[in-house]
Structure 1
């Protein structure tokens, strides 16, 4: 029952999928981060079916890309994208860490957030168009799995890295997290890695190395800019990692060996 309640809390927090309502207790958030990748699995499954059906009915590529881009927005309600935009505004403000933390809490959208979002969307659509154009089983599988992997890594970073605020949502979640939460995420990461290695070892290594480098950059960047990670920077990490994986996938598929 505890795990079911944690699952419901995870989907209630990180998605717009209707869930049963009940009064949350501290123990109900003990493993909710461990279930975060399941939200990505739902997105990936919908994307897989969408792309397969789109090609079956010979839909235009523009329509397929538009629908594919809408899926994560509809499932999550743009929850993580909001953090991405807030973080980009703070990064580009060039103010003190204290002032940057205030920018993260500001509900208004700045110019840099809009510019960053447009840049991201253009890169994501361009990369996805290559993936769809090549239409390989490898490409579709890795694209769909990117939504799971990005959430596994976001959960691990959130649990492992120092927090910028002691009273923020992320601090509350990670304080309530049980010891088994991190191990559950690591186990999911190993299972996903083993599966993807069987699909394409070279691409798996490329994505793993690139994600590791970005994770190191993210750690140093948030430590210097904010004094640690927050819920908004976690959203930034998740969104950027998804974009990075799609871009790498497009690059790989464009190569002769892809």
Structure 2
């Protein structure tokens, strides 16, 4: 596949999953959608570099308190995505906690109204993320910026693997659209991304234990999310992808928070 296809694939990621304005008509055939799936980890790295860079700048130059810095970091993912994935988290929570059959759950996903379970789960998600970011920021070590880079890297890979390995819950929507680019070699491609990131992480930090822990946690979350999507929804959808990405990132933020709390990071 030519380099131009991968460049267009990366631009498609920005166009669909960020507020960054891409004023360009991009090809969306199967080849370019396949390229998009392959560069999902790169898109995650770009997002991670943004998170890590802002974290470092706040620690080194911000006149604000740790609470103020944590608030800005907490806002950053919401601004970057325009709340896109949070919408998926809300809809998925409403559908899952309805305890209905698969068909009714899919109907709830399509319902534009927000239920009590969606509101409560959003509060829990955002409150937990703020707690993790505040205590990580309060610890105040700029080398933690390296871990900030890894979190979106893994969450985007989880999203790509779910798209590539789970049947669509419905033949419409963003998940079905991107699944036109399914790739039998995607797992191998992601293995190269993980290996390269691991080598780079080792040279930067001098260790590999936290990287391996993040890798294992992301892999286990993927298995959990894949099973849940099939069992409770009969497949994957755009809302479930958003919920999966938010869930994967929350898990990794929690792990980093725990490592900081016990002095291992």
Q: CA deviation at 1:107?
A: 1.4
TM-score by length of 2: 0.88
SS at 1:229's partner residue? coil
Matches within 5 A, 1:71-90: 71-90=76-95
**Bigger mean CA offset, 172-181 vs 242-251:** 172-181
**Bigger mean CA offset, 80-89 vs 127-136:** 127-136
Cross-structure match for 1:255: 262
Q: Does 1:128 align with 2:137?
A: no
Q: CA deviation at 1:24?
A: 3.6
Cross-structure match for 1:51: 55
**Bigger mean CA offset, 168-177 vs 63-72:** 168-177
CA distance in 2, matches of 1:85, 1:149: 22
Q: Structure 1 91/193 Cα, relative in aligned 2: closer, same or farther at 3 Å?
A: farther
**Bigger mean CA offset, 63-72 vs 16-25:** 16-25
Cross-structure match for 2:41: 37
Give per-residue Cα distances to partners, 1:14-37, cap 9 Å, x unaligned.
Answer: 111111322644143231222333
Give per-residue Cα distances to partners, 1:37-62, cap 9 Å, x unaligned.
Answer: 33333332222232222222332112
TM-score by length of 1: 0.90
CA distance in 1, matches of 2:27, 2:13: 11
Cross-structure match for 2:6: 3
**Bigger mean CA offset, 7-16 vs 243-252:** 7-16
Q: CA deviation at 1:77?
A: 1.1
Cross-structure match for 2:150: 145
**Counterpart contact for 1:83–1:235, Cα < 8 Å:** yes
Q: Structure 1 35/20 Cα, relative in aligned 2: closer, same or farther at 3 Å?
A: farther
Question: How many residue pairs are counted as aligned between the two chains?
Answer: 258
Unaligned runs of 5+ in 2: none
Q: Does 1:215 align with 2:222?
A: yes
Cross-structure match for 2:232: 225
Q: Structure 1 168/206 Cα, relative in aligned 2: closer, same or farther at 3 Å?
A: same
CA distance in 2, matches of 1:25, 1:157: 19
CA RMSD of aligned residues (A): 2.1
**Bigger mean CA offset, 219-228 vs 138-147:** 138-147
CA distance in 2, matches of 1:208, 1:40: 14
Q: Could you tell me which of 87, 99, 107 is aligned with 2:104?
A: 99
**Counterpart contact for 1:15–1:75, Cα < 8 Å:** yes
**Counterpart contact for 1:85–1:116, Cα < 8 Å:** yes
Q: Does 1:113 align with 2:118?
A: yes
Q: Structure 1 256/2 Cα, relative in aligned 2: closer, same or farther at 3 Å?
A: closer
